[in-house]
Amino acid sequence: MPNACQNSWDGSRSTPPQPSEIEVSLFGPGYGECVVVHVGQGEWVVVDSCLDAQSKESSASVYLSKLGVKLEKKVKLIVATHWHDDHVRGLASVVKSCLEAKFAFSSALRNREFLDLIGAMQMRPMMDTTGIKEFTEILSVLAQRGKNGVLGDPKIFAIADRLLWKRDSQRLGDDPECEIIALSPSDKAHARALESLRGLFPLENTTKKRMAQPSPNHNSVVLWVKIAGERILLGSDLQNDSEAAGGWGVIVASKTRPPGKASVFKIPHHGSQNAHHSDVWSALLEVNPHSILTPFVQGNVSLPAKEDIQRISALTSHAYITSPVEHSRKPMKSSGAVNKTINETVRFIRPVLFSGGQIRLRKMLNSPESPEWQVELFPPACSLQTSVQ
């Protein structure tokens, strides 16, 4: 049974996990998501970034600081699963703070096409998207660190079946073994990403405008985290691909992906139908896995839809969401003339960010007394089924 917790940092929320206790925390304030994983021994991995609604800082930085984690030493890996705005807000500041962390991102972005886009957007900063802006900053930090050369090359390109990080076997001792492996993008998805990026570069004599982000997303980095006997599948935003070049079908069919089944699943792309692949649930996941997801609200799109919630709830009784979707739709309170005029002018208005909750899963390794994941829900996080009531 999950524990409904207080949001206050005074209570158990700011208690760090024990060295042999692993943790998966998911943050999602309505637009964006971020995962932090405690891989044991006080070492952490950050996957993507979103902003804390109050402080407007990265949720990962805020949370880890509250736990007393020294970001500059204890964060070992930062992964940008893709460059969409909702996954990289605040990521540059995380990269700056985490001096010893390697930064992994999709190999599909290791090309001149992506750098050309950065070049074009730098010339017209107001045309920038958050995603490009964050990556521009990150690449600048990486270039500087690479020049210093103290910790070797700080960047890793993620592609299917590549090992991104492994706990140093020289000093394992009693520490749990840990490996983090990318399951995507596939080689074909990589090639198609280049075409997609090339298409985004502005053409001569076309009007300047903000850049649209390519969709659907076939180039996200899906992660397989193995800590001792536990496996965690972080689904990123990977969607299915009708041309079988990428997407979940390729991962399911792969003969080279790591063996085993995961007990925790970060559901991809906010639970959308086009990111659902039924074979994932049979081939990559244990029965009734702990499944976590974030909502997504943009324009007329709200995820997960009711059908998505029904589908996921039929597959697992342990599904949790960082906030009910309806919560994300609540408009801001305004007053007076501004409010009146807003209501007369628009069909709807709502904040992009709000106080999203946190889903925290913790589990002691090698502990027969507590063999299950302990679930803590910090409001407005809730079980997926109750999110529609």
Partner 1 sequence: MSQTAIKWEVEGGEEISPLHGGRMVFAEGGFQRGSATLPSQRLAFVNPFVNPKPQTMDSLGEHSNRIGGIAESFFSFAEPSDAARFSPVVFVPVVPVGHERFIVLQSWEGCVLSVSPDSFVARLVDSKHIRPDEEAEFDVNELTEDDRELLEPGAVFYWSIGYYDKPSGQRIRASEIRFRRLPAWTKEELKEARDHAKRLSEQLGW
Which listed range, 34-42, 204-212, 229-237, 369-377, lies at the site for partner 1 (CB under 8 A)?
204-212
- For the bound state, the minimum distance from the C-beta of residue 217 to partner 1, rounded and expressed in Å, comes to 16
Exactly one of 14, 310, 332, 370 binds partner 1 (CB under 8 A); that residue is: 332
Pairing of strands 162-166, 155-158: unpaired
337 is an interface residue for partner 1 by CB under 8 A: yes
The rounded radius of gyration (Å) of the Cα atoms in the chain is 20
Q: In which element (H, E) is residue 92 found?
A: helix 91-97
Q: Using CB under 8 A, which residues numbered 86 to 115 contact partner 1?
A: 110, 112, 115
Of 120, 88, 124, 125, nearest to 105 (Cα)? 88
The size of the interface with partner 1 (CB under 8 A), counted in residues, is: 52
Which listed range, 205-213, 271-279, 283-291, 303-311, lies at the site for partner 1 (CB under 8 A)?
205-213
CA 159/CA 164 separation, integer angstroms: 9
Of 274, 293, 262, 267, nearest to 382 (Cα)? 293
Which listed range, 230-238, 252-260, 347-355, 368-376, lies at the site for partner 1 (CB under 8 A)?
347-355
352 is an interface residue for partner 1 by CB under 8 A: yes
Residue 375 and residue 318 in contact, taking contact as beta carbons nearer than 8 Å: yes
Q: Give the number of other CB atoms < 10 A from CB of residue 135.
A: 23
Which listed range, 70-78, 139-147, 165-173, 231-239, lies at the site for partner 1 (CB under 8 A)?
139-147
Exactly one of 11, 119, 125, 199 binds partner 1 (CB under 8 A); that residue is: 119
Of 236, 304, 292, 297, nearest to 265 (Cα)? 292
3-state secondary structure of 158: strand
333 is an interface residue for partner 1 by CB under 8 A: no
Exactly one of 15, 55, 341, 367 binds partner 1 (CB under 8 A); that residue is: 341
Residue showing tokens 């992994």: 104
- For the bound state, the minimum distance from the C-beta of residue 267 to partner 1, rounded and expressed in Å, comes to 23
Residue 362 and residue 385 in contact, taking contact as beta carbons nearer than 8 Å: no
340 is an interface residue for partner 1 by CB under 8 A: yes
- For the bound state, the minimum distance from the C-beta of residue 364 to partner 1, rounded and expressed in Å, comes to 38
Q: Give the number of other CB atoms < 10 A from CB of residue 122.
A: 13
Q: Give the number of other CB atoms < 10 A from CB of residue 287.
A: 10
Exactly one of 346, 367, 370, 372 binds partner 1 (CB under 8 A); that residue is: 346
- For the bound state, the minimum distance from the C-beta of residue 113 to partner 1, rounded and expressed in Å, comes to 9
Residue showing tokens 């006997």: 229
- For the bound state, the minimum distance from the C-beta of residue 99 to partner 1, rounded and expressed in Å, comes to 18
57 is an interface residue for partner 1 by CB under 8 A: no
Pairing of strands 262-266, 230-234: parallel
Which listed range, 11-19, 74-82, 306-314, 343-351, lies at the site for partner 1 (CB under 8 A)?
343-351
Q: Give the number of other CB atoms < 10 A from CB of residue 326.
A: 13
CB burial string 308-325: b at 16+ within 10 A, e below: bbeebbebbebbbbbbbb
Closer of 118 and 228 to partner 1 (Cβ): 118
205 is an interface residue for partner 1 by CB under 8 A: yes
Return residues touching partner 1 (CB under 8 A): 53, 110, 112, 115-116, 118-120, 122-123, 126-127, 139, 142-143, 146-147, 153, 155, 201-212, 297-300, 332, 337-338, 340-342, 344-354
